[in-house]
Structure 1
Amino acid sequence: MDVILATVIFVISYIFIMTEKINRAVIALSGGVLLLLTGIYSANDMFFQYIDWNTIALLFSMMLLISITEKTGLFTFIAIRFAQKVRGSPIPLFIGISILTAIGSALLDNVTTVLIFVPIILKITSQLNLPSFPYLLTIIFSSNIGGTATLIGDPPNIMIGQAVDHLNFLSFLVHLAPLALLLFVIMLFVLVFLFRNTLTASQGNVEELLATDASAFLVKTPMLYQSIAVLSLTLTGFLLHSFLHIELTVIALSGAILLLLLTEKELETEQVFAKVEWVTLFFFIGLFTLVGGLDAVGIIDELARAIVLSTEGDFSKTALLILWISGLFSGIVDNIPFVAAMIPVIQEFKSYGMIYLDPIWWSLALGACLGGNATLVGASANVVVAGLAEGAKQKLSFIRFMLYGIPFVLFSLVVSTIYIYVRYLIPYMSQGL
């Protein structure tokens, strides 16, 4: 009975989220409360087992940092200068923001990257009177593809890297970056082709942009230099966190609190907190509780076991099935809980005689990271972009995004299948490992 209840609550909540008739955070939280009322899990389990407070704290900290920095006019300055560098041309702007997002997501993490770039691109598109959807779409796709390339780029990769000692930063770069680069180039060409007719700006808007003095938007007070220093320090901490052995959340929280302390006299804390995307944070909390319901009744665990049983222990079939299952499943729910459930299952494969598990780990990473492009709830970065866009009155349609996301994920999984098969499975079978 619990399985049916949890499934029904999840499906109904998901349908309401898709239709966007009611605020998505309210729906997600309502689903979580229903799971509590029906006894699927206890309040203690919900708060201490299923809600990923590390993710919530990381997002909250970065929102504080971005909120304070935005008050200095720095992002407006960067947006105008960037747009001026490409002379207001929409397609070079489109390509440039895609490349910057992909690189940022690989070197930092995709959530931090979109928190930085989305406010910038929204300001540029508003000034040039361009549609924001193509730019937000490419930011999401680029962030998830870029995050696939490195250990620190996407939460699933971080989790896999922590679970498997010999898979380090260089391992992810060598094994996943080539495919990520290929998919990024293809994605860029396809999106430019699809949106080529809508990516046009009027000459008047361009001339107005080129005549704008970007430096006039900078508020040149101590807060500007404090914001730049702390934000740079925080981003450096993200780059070095694996060497410093300090968690990303701790680095982000430290940076946010430090900047709050430094700017307290110039900017009231209440104003900073008012700019936090609370709807996005509470949607995350609700989403974690909904997926927690599936986990509590054993649906996620049973799905993981079914993968093993359906392949009868065949190594190649297992690797490819994990790729597709993780890719498709991560498009429906956030990829973090699925990866958390799959890690111990893959570790158990050794008891079935599978000694060489690296291709299976790469399949899980590729499926979870790339599958997040399917819907607006498929990855943390997607939810953040949707929240920022909604806050700027540029709401992203769930259905419209899905019409682009699902085909691209299916294509990505086909290319990933070929990559996994050619690079790992053929050599494995030829050597008889």
Structure 2
Amino acid sequence: MSTVLAILIFTASYILIMTEKLNRALVAVAGGVLLLMTKVYAWEEAFGFIDWETVALLFSMMVLVSITKKTGIFSFMAVRLVQLVQGRPVPLLIVTGIFTAVGSAFLDNVTTVLLFVPVLLSLIDQLKLPAFPYLITTIFSSNIGGTATLIGDPPNIMIGQAVEHFSFVSFMYHLGPVVIVIFVVMMAGMILLYRKRLVYDEALARRLMERNAKADLKVTPLLFQSVGVLLLTITGFMMHPFIHMDITTIAVSGALLLLFLSEKELDVEHVFQEVEWVTLFFFMGLFMLVGGLETVGVIDEMARGMVWLSGGDLPVTAMVMLWSAGILSGVVDNIPFVAAMIPVVQELQGYGMMNVDPVWWALALGACLGGNGTLVGASANVVVAGLAASHNKPIPFLKFSLYGFPVLLVSLLICSVYIWFRYLLPFLS
């Protein structure tokens, strides 16, 4: 009976999260509480299923970015980038993609689009350009760029916390090369598709060039403190293998340091109010939901099914994981999918697969890039759609999918070739 209840509660919660009829954090936490009420597990077990390191890492990055944002540095950078290309539409499209991809890799994609999209919408309004090409380029770039690092996309954060020997540098080393190739291919496609539709207006561009970018910048001690601590924290992530300190401790230390330094200029309570608590509670509820499946043995059966499907063959398992993660993450939010698959990959080691690193990389690539498939495929997509709608520039679900799904398929094909030659070929020789 517990098995049926756990599956029903997980499935119902998943459907509600996917349809977005109710707040997804509320749904996830309510699902976890239902598992407690039906005695699938007890409170002690529920708290044990929550990955507190992931929650603490996300919280710390939110604090760092929330404080840094108040200096106006992100708005300043966006305006300067537009002025750098002199307001020309196609170069602006390229800069939009590069800025979003790099920001998503080192800040995380949700934070990047929250900071950049409102400024971008204002700039393209001033240039009288169509918003859709820039918005979908932003979404594609955020998911592609976020794939390259441990903190770039929530699924990577979850995988990084689940595998002890994966570091910040590991993600860049293993995923960075293929991410660069996919980004270049995606941008080339966007340029070919829209180069004739983006019309340059010299008068409007000249007006934007005259705008004082520094007007958005607040040159106070907080500017140097926040940027300095943020760069120090990112450096700490990269030095993680050498300083022997986990990335969560580095992030928490950076957040605390900046809170102490900025106390005279900012109220700590106000900073905490700007933290995305909904996202944090969503993660906690999600871990509880997946914990229910783990308790009743569903995760173990899924692992057995994957081993049966692949015949225990590592190359086949990695390819099955890549494509199933990519397609399914294109249909539903990639966060709950990865939360369910992490214990499955961990179980594979119990079925004779000693080196499952290629499967982890396949899961990371499939889940993160799969977010480009549809408008609900990743959290960053939903955020951009919401911001666009609030500016009366809605992104139609079907129209986005007509562009997103081809981008997803091309990305998965490139990843298949990459994984095959870099990780799987030695197992066949």
> Which amino acid counterpart does residue 294 of structure 1 have in structure 2?
L
Distance 2:287 2:375 in 1: 15
* TM-score normalized with structure 2 length: 0.81
1:361-383 Cα shifts (integer Å, max 9, x gaps)? 54344334433444567567667
Q: How many Å apart are 1:119 and its aligned residue? A: 0.6
Residue 29 of structure 2 corresponds to 29
> Which amino acid counterpart does residue 370 of structure 2 have in structure 1?
G
Distance 1:161 1:268 in 2: 31
Distance 2:252 2:390 in 1: 23
> Which amino acid counterpart does residue 120 of structure 1 have in structure 2?
F
> Which amino acid counterpart does residue 300 of structure 2 have in structure 1?
D
The worse-fitting range, judged by mean Cα deviation, of 335-344 and 79-88 is 335-344
The worse-fitting range, judged by mean Cα deviation, of 207-216 and 9-18 is 9-18
For the pair 1:122 / 2:118, whether they are aligned, the reply is yes
Cα pair distance change 1:204/1:310, threshold 3 Å:
same
Distance 2:290 2:391 in 1: 28
Residue 13 of structure 1 corresponds to 13
SS at match of 2:205: helix
The worse-fitting range, judged by mean Cα deviation, of 286-295 and 419-428 is 419-428
Query: Do the aligned partners of 1:18 and 1:399 also contact (CA within 8 Å) in 2?
Result: no
SS at match of 1:253: helix
Q: How many Å apart are 1:69 and its aligned residue? A: 1.7
Distance 1:231 1:413 in 2: 33
Runs of 5+ consecutive residues of structure 1 not aligned to the other structure:
none
Task: Tell me which of 339, 344, 347 is aligned to 1:345.
Answer: 347
Residue 277 of structure 2 corresponds to 278
Q: How many Å apart are 1:408 and its aligned residue? A: 3.2
The worse-fitting range, judged by mean Cα deviation, of 327-336 and 180-189 is 327-336
Distance 1:191 1:82 in 2: 19
Cα pair distance change 1:195/1:379, threshold 3 Å:
same
The worse-fitting range, judged by mean Cα deviation, of 375-384 and 35-44 is 375-384
Cα pair distance change 1:245/1:381, threshold 3 Å:
farther
Distance 1:227 1:356 in 2: 41
Between the two proteins, what is the percent identity of the paired residues? 51
> Which amino acid counterpart does residue 342 of structure 2 have in structure 1?
A
Cα pair distance change 1:286/1:385, threshold 3 Å:
farther
Residue 304 of structure 1 corresponds to 303
For the pair 1:324 / 2:323, whether they are aligned, the reply is yes
Query: Do the aligned partners of 2:345 and 2:356 also contact (CA within 8 Å) in 1?
Result: no
Residue 261 of structure 1 corresponds to 260
Residue 76 of structure 1 corresponds to 75
Distance 1:277 1:378 in 2: 19
SS at match of 2:7: helix
Residue 144 of structure 2 corresponds to 145
Distance 1:321 1:285 in 2: 28
Distance 2:54 2:130 in 1: 30
The worse-fitting range, judged by mean Cα deviation, of 364-373 and 79-88 is 364-373
Query: Do the aligned partners of 1:121 and 1:135 also contact (CA within 8 Å) in 2?
Result: no
> Which amino acid counterpart does residue 123 of structure 2 have in structure 1?
Q
Residue 293 of structure 1 corresponds to 292
* TM-score normalized with structure 1 length: 0.80
Cα pair distance change 1:161/1:292, threshold 3 Å:
closer
1:331-365 Cα shifts (integer Å, max 9, x gaps)? 5442543453144334345x3xx677665454344
Question: Aligned residues, how many?
Answer: 422
Distance 1:11 1:195 in 2: 40
Query: Do the aligned partners of 1:160 and 1:365 also contact (CA within 8 Å) in 2?
Result: no
Query: Do the aligned partners of 1:128 and 1:206 also contact (CA within 8 Å) in 2?
Result: no
Query: Do the aligned partners of 1:128 and 1:201 also contact (CA within 8 Å) in 2?
Result: no
> Which amino acid counterpart does residue 70 of structure 1 have in structure 2?
K
The worse-fitting range, judged by mean Cα deviation, of 125-134 and 57-66 is 125-134
Residue 48 of structure 2 corresponds to 48
Q: How many Å apart are 1:213 and its aligned residue? A: 0.9
Cα pair distance change 1:177/1:270, threshold 3 Å:
closer
Cα pair distance change 1:124/1:188, threshold 3 Å:
same
Query: Do the aligned partners of 1:280 and 1:387 also contact (CA within 8 Å) in 2?
Result: no
Residue 179 of structure 2 corresponds to 180
Distance 1:361 1:240 in 2: 22
The worse-fitting range, judged by mean Cα deviation, of 118-127 and 258-267 is 118-127
Cα pair distance change 1:264/1:163, threshold 3 Å:
closer
Cα pair distance change 1:77/1:172, threshold 3 Å:
closer
> Which amino acid counterpart does residue 345 of structure 1 have in structure 2?
E
The worse-fitting range, judged by mean Cα deviation, of 400-409 and 229-238 is 400-409
Cα pair distance change 1:307/1:101, threshold 3 Å:
same
Q: How many Å apart are 1:153 and its aligned residue? A: 5.5
Query: Do the aligned partners of 2:307 and 2:348 also contact (CA within 8 Å) in 1?
Result: no
Q: How many Å apart are 1:85 and its aligned residue? A: 0.9
Distance 2:51 2:199 in 1: 42
Q: How many Å apart are 1:4 and its aligned residue? A: 3.1
Query: Do the aligned partners of 2:46 and 2:288 also contact (CA within 8 Å) in 1?
Result: yes
Runs of 5+ consecutive residues of structure 2 not aligned to the other structure:
none
> Which amino acid counterpart does residue 411 of structure 1 have in structure 2?
V
Distance 1:243 1:390 in 2: 45
CA RMSD of superposed structures (Å): 3.8
Distance 1:52 1:298 in 2: 19
1:115-139 Cα shifts (integer Å, max 9, x gaps)? 2464134213223326666545434
Distance 1:424 1:242 in 2: 22
Cα pair distance change 1:366/1:45, threshold 3 Å:
same
Cα pair distance change 1:298/1:269, threshold 3 Å:
same
The worse-fitting range, judged by mean Cα deviation, of 82-91 and 397-406 is 397-406
> Which amino acid counterpart does residue 5 of structure 1 have in structure 2?
L
Cα pair distance change 1:168/1:270, threshold 3 Å:
closer
Cα pair distance change 1:75/1:297, threshold 3 Å:
same
Query: Do the aligned partners of 1:88 and 1:128 also contact (CA within 8 Å) in 2?
Result: no
SS at match of 2:239: helix
Distance 2:47 2:130 in 1: 40
Query: Do the aligned partners of 2:54 and 2:161 also contact (CA within 8 Å) in 1?
Result: no
Query: Do the aligned partners of 1:20 and 1:398 also contact (CA within 8 Å) in 2?
Result: no
> Which amino acid counterpart does residue 61 of structure 1 have in structure 2?
S
> Which amino acid counterpart does residue 260 of structure 1 have in structure 2?
L
